[in-house]
């Protein structure tokens, strides 16, 4: 996917927020968008996600399924958690059965079970943020765009963000994530785009930052501890599978081995 000489301003005759931005992201790649407050990170993400159209330039190769996680989930809607997520899944083209399955899966994974019948305006900020994350993942996205996803999430849910990003990448998706709190260590191997002076510059990854996948066999009883320690050291645990599961397909993306879900 490529943003080609993209310009954006919020009103005709107003100041340019982004000028002549050209960036590209390939399947299986993540980019962290850095920059000071007000630099234009959210604007860039919304352009990439297709929420804002460019005033000039174009966006090529945007995947059909885009998951957009806004900085603040708009919780002022009169639906229950279950009703909202099911409607969101149906709007994304899932059948009734697929929608129920996807909603059940994300409700369970994000610990939203107790809130299924609660209406969105009654949710705490952190729980509302989880709904924002869940709705973006109901259909596996070819592009997942997360605007400051760590804001407002509790510790357990914050752990989930890099896990989910790893899964989207392993399935060949692209991920863009903005960050002004220095959480980038949680996404090793991600490209770095810095927004400043109305444009975007990329720090080219060095060989040291290139990613490889290492397969480990760990006694089942010690898996939770090992995963916890690996994550604490900044490693990216893509997934855990049982010894009788078929081995994953591995392919090369930009020189790094990436597992594909079979
Ligand atoms: N809807 C809007 N209408 C007019 N101006 C806007 C709008 N949204 C953002 N801006 C302006 O565009 C510029 C970039 O804003 P943006 O939200 O993209 O920055 P950001 O880097 O994401 O900031 P933050 O880290 O505070 O979220 C700012 O000057 C902001 O005031």
Neighbours of 252 (CB within 10 A): 9
Residue 253 has pLDDT above 80, yes or no: no
Q: Name the maximum alpha-carbon separation found in the chain.
A: 63
pLDDT at site 210: 60
Q: Is 38 close to ligand 1, i.e. is its CB under 6 Å away?
A: yes
- Tell me: the pLDDT tens digits for 55-69? 999 999 999 999 999
Contacts of 243 (CB under 8 A, 6+ apart): 217
Residue 127: partners with Cβ closer than 8 Å, 6 or more residues away: 112, 115
Tell me, what's the ipTM?
A: 0.97
CB of 10 closer than 6 A to ligand 1?
A: yes
Structure confidence by residue, pLDDT tens digits, 67-119: 999 998 888 889 999 999 999 999 999 999 999 999 999 999 999 999 999 99
Model confidence at 213, pLDDT cuts 50, 70, 90, reads confident
* Domains located in the chain, CATH noted: 2-74+132-211 (3.40.50.300), 76-122 (no CATH)
Between 241 and 254, where is the model more confident? 241
Q: How far is the CA of 5 from the centre of ligand 1 (A)?
A: 20
Pocket test for ligand 1, best of 39, 70, 146 (most atoms within 8 A of CB): 39
Residue located via tokens 């002004």: 180
**pLDDT exceeds cutoff 60 at 245:** no
Predicted confidence band of residue 149 (pLDDT cuts 50, 70, 90): confident
pTM across the whole model: 0.79
What's the chain's average pLDDT?
A: 87
Q: Tell me what the mean pLDDT of segment 37-43 comes to.
A: 94
Q: What is the pLDDT of residue 6?
A: 97
Cα 141 from Cα 154, distance rounded (Å): 24
Which contacts (CB < 8 Å, 24+ apart) does range 242-247 have?
Answer: 243/217
- Report the share of the chain in percent with pLDDT over 90: 61
- Altogether, the residues listed in the chain come to a count of 262
Contacts of 65 (CB under 8 A, 6+ apart): 92, 139, 140, 141, 142, 143
**Per-residue pLDDT at 196 exceeds 80:** yes
Residue 19's nearest CA partner among 6, 37, 36 is: 6
**φ/ψ of residue 167, rounded to 5:** -70, -40
| Cα–Cα nearest to 138, from 98, 175, 166 | 98
Task: Write the DSSP symbol of residue 80.
Answer: B
All residues at 6 or more sequence positions from 262 whose CB lies less than 8 Å from its CB, including other chains: 246, 248, 249
- What number is the average pLDDT over the span 194-215? 78
- Residue 180 Cβ < 6 Å to ligand 1: yes
Say yes or no: CB of residue 8 within 6 Å of ligand 1.
no
What is the spatial distance between Cα 261 and Cα 239, in angstroms, rounded to a whole number? 10
Q: Is the CB of 234 under 6 A from ligand 1?
A: no
Distance CA 236, CA 241 (A): 15
């Amino acid at each position: 996917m490529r943003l080609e000489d993209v310009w954006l301003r919020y009103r005709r005759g107003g100041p340019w927020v982004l000028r002549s931005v050209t960036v590209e992201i390939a399947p299986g790649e993540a980019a962290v968008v850095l920059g000071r407050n007000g630099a234009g990170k959210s604007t860039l993400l919304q352009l990439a996600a297709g929420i804002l159209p460019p005033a000039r330039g174009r966006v090529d190769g945007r995947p059909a399924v885009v998951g957009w996680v806004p900085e603040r989930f708009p919780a002022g809607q009169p639906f229950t958690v279950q009703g909202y997520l099911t409607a969101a899944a149906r709007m994304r083209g899932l059948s009734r059965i697929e929608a129920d399955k996807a909603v059940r899966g994300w409700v369970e994974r994000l610990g939203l079970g107790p809130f299924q019948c609660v209406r969105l305006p009654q949710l705490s900020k952190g729980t509302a943020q989880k709904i924002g994350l869940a709705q973006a993942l109901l259909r596996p996205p070819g592009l997942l765009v997360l605007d400051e996803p760590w804001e407002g999430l509790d510790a357990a849910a914050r752990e989930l963000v890099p896990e989910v990003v790893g899964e989207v990448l392993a399935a060949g998706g692209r991920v863009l994530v903005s960050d002004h709190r220095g959480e980038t260590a949680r996404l090793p191997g991600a490209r770095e785009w810095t927004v400043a002076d109305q444009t975007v510059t990329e720090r080219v990854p060095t060989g040291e930052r290139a990613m490889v996948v290492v397969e480990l066999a760990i006694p089942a009883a010690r898996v939770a501890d090992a995963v916890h320690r690996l994550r604490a050291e900044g490693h990216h645990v893509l997934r855990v599978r049982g010894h009788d599961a078929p081995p994953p397909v591995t392919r090369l993306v930009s020189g790094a081995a990436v597992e594909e879900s079979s």
